């Protein structure tokens, strides 16, 4: 109860994700603030103690959407005709989350570059390798 108004504070719910850890807290604003603060302090201290990856430095990925799609082509993934949705889903499955319009533009660029062919009709285009990747 708040003393000034005589009303009870409404509980709030906070959901957070830090790395692979997710948690949810429900309580008053003060309780949630305290719990979140303690949790983040614990996580920060633990991360300082334990290196996540040992023996190698990991730089942030700067690969463009087009480069990732070219890698799919190099792997022979486009030996079968694929739609925009399939390409977008495969990229997401591999951890690359680009907007569908970015994927569509990259596919068109690869068609213009002579790497892929586009078959079908608008909104249902299928993309297939124009030529197989050269094996070195």
CATH number, position 73: 1.10.10.10
Q: Are residues 123 and 98 in the same domain?
A: yes
Rounded distance between C-alpha atoms, residue 72 and residue 78, angstroms: 7
In a domain, 18, yes or no: yes
| 35 Cβ neighbours under 8 A, 6+ residues apart | 25, 27
Q: Which pLDDT belongs to residue 71?
A: 94
Residue 127, pLDDT > 80, answer yes
Residue 58 lies in a domain: no
Taking 50 as the threshold, does the pLDDT of residue 1 lie above it? no
| Residues listed for the chain | 136
Residue 23: give the domain boundaries: 12-49
What pLDDT score was predicted for residue 49? 65
Q: What is the mean pLDDT of residues 74-103?
A: 95
Tell me the torsion sign for CA atoms 88, 90, 96, 97. positive
> Closest Cα to residue 13, out of 22, 29, 30, 25?
25
Confidence of residue 4 (pLDDT cuts 50, 70, 90): low
Task: With a cut of 50, say whether residue 55 has pLDDT above it.
Answer: no
Regarding whether 25 and 73 lie in a shared domain, the answer is no
């Amino acid at each position: 109860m708040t003393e000034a108004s005589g009303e009870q504070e409404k509980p709030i719910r906070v959901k957070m994700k830090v790395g692979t850890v997710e948690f949810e807290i429900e309580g008053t604003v003060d309780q949630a603030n305290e719990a979140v603060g303690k949790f983040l302090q614990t996580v920060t201290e633990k991360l300082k103690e334990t290196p996540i990856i040992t023996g190698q430095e990991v730089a942030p990925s700067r690969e463009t959407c087009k480069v990732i799609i070219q890698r799919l082509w190099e792997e022979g993934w486009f030996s079968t005709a694929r739609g925009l949705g399939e390409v977008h889903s495969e990229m997401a499955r591999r951890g690359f989350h680009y907007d569908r319009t970015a994927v569509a533009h990259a596919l068109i660029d690869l068609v213009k570059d002579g790497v892929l062919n586009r078959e079908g009709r608008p909104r249902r285009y299928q993309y297939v390798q124009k030529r197989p990747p050269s094996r070195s």
